[in-house]
Structure 1
Amino acid sequence: MNRVELSQQIIDTCLEMTRLGLNQGTAGNVSVRFDNGMLITPTGIPYEKLTPDHIVYVAEDGSFEEGKLPSSEWLFHLTCYKQRDDINAVVHNHAINCAAVSILNKSIPAIHYMVAASGTTEIPCVPYATFGSTKLAEYVEEGITKSKAILLQHHGLIAGEVNLEKALWLAHEVEVLADLYLKILAVTPDAPTLDDESMQVVLEKFKSYGLRVEK
């Protein structure tokens, strides 16, 4: 895809994220790997007012286009791309259930086999740091190397995948898992989980069958 097409796909992903109830207002941000850097949503513009011209190119050294301001979270997006070659798109939001679990400072354990959609056996929660800060990017770096989906303490969710469609799918799946986890925690603090052997089987099957969303 060319830049305009990718920029429109970013906007469409933002609008769909809101439609799915995964985000509120101007919170959250979306990016895609592009030309030795990335394209990312700008800061402070409501999604419904975005046009492809608003989308900002950020180079791998962190420099960006004159006259445009990228999302305040651009640094952790760039970190995701630098850490994982298998991630070409990143979705960040403040989905209610994910945010609630992050406030509890809990990782989502293997309560359901779909936790393996993250590429591992749990969805980790990384420590709190101020949004847009270098410290937060450092925490994201540690978390994203372990899992394609991570919770940010007292903040929200990051999901990365091979393309925008799959990244949004993963973000939605993690929000469902977070909702399920909160319901379990309301009954018992010791959530029953699948053992590692069972999860390894699922992880292997996902390599063969994919995540039900075509590229």
Structure 2
Amino acid sequence: MTADHAGLPPRGPPVSDELTLRRELVAQGAKLAVSGLSQGTSGNLSARCGEGFLITPSGTPYEDIAPEGVVVVDRDGHWPAGQRPSSEWRFHRDIYLARPDAQAIVHVHPPYATALAMCRQDIPPAHYMIAVGGGDSVRCAAYHTYGTQALSDAVVTALEDRLACLMANHGMIALGSSLAQAMWRAVEVENLARQYALARQVGTPVLLTDDEVTAVLEKFAHYGLMSRS
């Protein structure tokens, strides 16, 4: 931890609201391995909290995270002394600053999405569920070392007008209006990646046209978990 991160109490909502978010982060984190989205201590979850956000701690198995172990980080990248947020806290902070619509972020390393990311490939509109990512593709952000400002900038760019992206040679990010929605979106993007990878083994996937994707995006706009709101 650098000196400018130590001992600065981040701002946040009333304790009751913060405690609810902390408990939800713990509960959703416990689902990562079961869902196949991440293994061990990989990946991280966060939720907007007041003017900052709550994020899972660094290097702690999800089953060992207690609500009080979730770290609060303010918009300037400060957190309380004695705690250590995920090493990827920076892109969480920058996404929240750039995207007022994002209330929760899930970053994971599932096998198929990560395999495509290792090939530095976008997911194209080969299935109508591409709409879960908010557009006609799930872009792959450029590669940069984890935890750096360069990676954060690349992720924010890849997420422009999108709700999910891949990260070259790394993993995947999904946004949501809630933690439940962000987790759902991450599962759906991984399913898209799996289907696309399998289709390429069978033949050449036929991509949807712009008009076809637009029609699906319009239908998804107010449909349950798929809605941005």
The question of a shared fold, defined as TM-score above 0.5 by the shorter chain, is answered with yes
Relative to the length of structure 2, the TM-score reads 0.90
Relative to the length of structure 1, the TM-score reads 0.95
Partner of 1:37: 52
| Deviation of 1:146 (Å) | 2.9
| Deviation of 1:212 (Å) | 5.7
Contact map agreement 1:89 1:163 (CA 8 A) in 2: yes
Matches within 5 A, 1:1-16: 2-16=17-31
Partner of 2:33: 18
Partner of 2:9: none
Partner of 2:130: 115
Structure 1, residues 14-58: CA drift from partner, whole Å, max 9, x if none? 111211111010000000000100000010111000101110000
Contact map agreement 1:83 1:144 (CA 8 A) in 2: no
| Deviation of 1:208 (Å) | 2.7
Q: Name the SS for the 1:42 alignment partner.
A: coil
| Deviation of 1:112 (Å) | 0.7
| Deviation of 1:83 (Å) | 1.3
Q: Give the number of aligned pairs.
A: 214
Would you say 1:192 and 2:206 are equivalent positions? yes
Long gaps (5+) in structure 2: 1-15
Q: Percent of aligned pairs with the same residue?
A: 38
Contact map agreement 2:106 2:182 (CA 8 A) in 1: yes
Q: CA RMSD in A?
A: 1.5
Structure 1, residues 43-85: CA drift from partner, whole Å, max 9, x if none? 0111000101110000001111111010000001111111111
Within the candidate set 120, 125, 130, 1:105 is matched to 120
Partner of 2:103: 88
Q: Name the SS for the 2:45 alignment partner.
A: strand
Partner of 1:144: 159
Structure 1, residues 126-182: CA drift from partner, whole Å, max 9, x if none? 111111111100101101123110000010000001000000000000000000011
Partner of 2:183: 168
Long gaps (5+) in structure 1: none
Distance in 1 (alpha carbons) for counterparts of 2:63 and 2:223: 35
Distance in 1 (alpha carbons) for counterparts of 2:125 and 2:224: 19
Q: Name the SS for the 1:90 alignment partner.
A: strand
